């Protein structure tokens, strides 16, 4: 029974990772790609690590897995935010969207 749940969590995590990667390839520019990546990676890692946690139980490895989930939940959106702000400030404008929004200056 536990193995079924572990496998279910593991494969749904892998599924969200896959969708995030497809989104990374399909969406047009930096910001849209970050949309796909920040969300699906956070849930993907969360699900994969929770499946490992369920498999491992609350041992010394399990506690480390809990900390990994917490830290990834904190750091993943922060990293996405930094990439987004850096590309907003330096204008990596592949689709012309940014220039339209800023009213055409610089």
Partner 1 sequence: MVFSKDVLGMTILLYIFWLLISWSLDWVNLLLGFTFSLFVAIFMAPEIIRAEERPPFLARGFFFLKFVLILIREIIKANFQGVAIVLSPRLRISPQFVEVKQTLRFPVTQALWGNSITLTPGTLSIDVDDRKILIHFLTEEMVTQFPENPVGKALVEFEGRGK
Q: Interface residues with partner 1 (CB under 8 A)?
A: 16, 19-20, 22-23, 26-29, 31-32, 34-36, 38-40, 42-43, 46, 59-60, 63-64, 67, 74, 77-78, 80-81, 84-85, 88, 97-98, 101
Q: Which is nearer to partner 1, 6 or 24 (CB)?
A: 24
d(CA 52, CA 61): 10
In whole angstroms, the minimum distance from the beta carbon of 22 to partner 1 comes to 5
Contact (CB, 8 A) for 53 and 76: no
Pick the closer one to partner 1 by CB: 6 or 19.
19
Q: Which is nearer to partner 1, 27 or 54 (CB)?
A: 27
Beta carbon of residue 98, minimum distance to partner 1 (angstroms, whole number): 8
């Amino acid at each position: 029974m536990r193995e079924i749940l572990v496998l279910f969590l593991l494969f749904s995590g892998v599924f969200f990772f896959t969708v995030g990667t497809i989104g990374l390839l399909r969406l047009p520019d930096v910001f849209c790609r970050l949309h796909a990546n920040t969300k699906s990676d956070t849930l993907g890692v969360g699900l994969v690590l929770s499946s490992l946690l369920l498999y491992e139980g609350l041992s010394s490895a399990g506690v480390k897995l809990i900390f990994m989930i917490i830290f990834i939940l904190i750091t993943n959106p922060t990293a996405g935010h930094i990439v987004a702000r850096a590309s907003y400030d330096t204008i990596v404008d592949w689709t012309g969207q940014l220039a339209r929004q800023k009213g055409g200056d610089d």
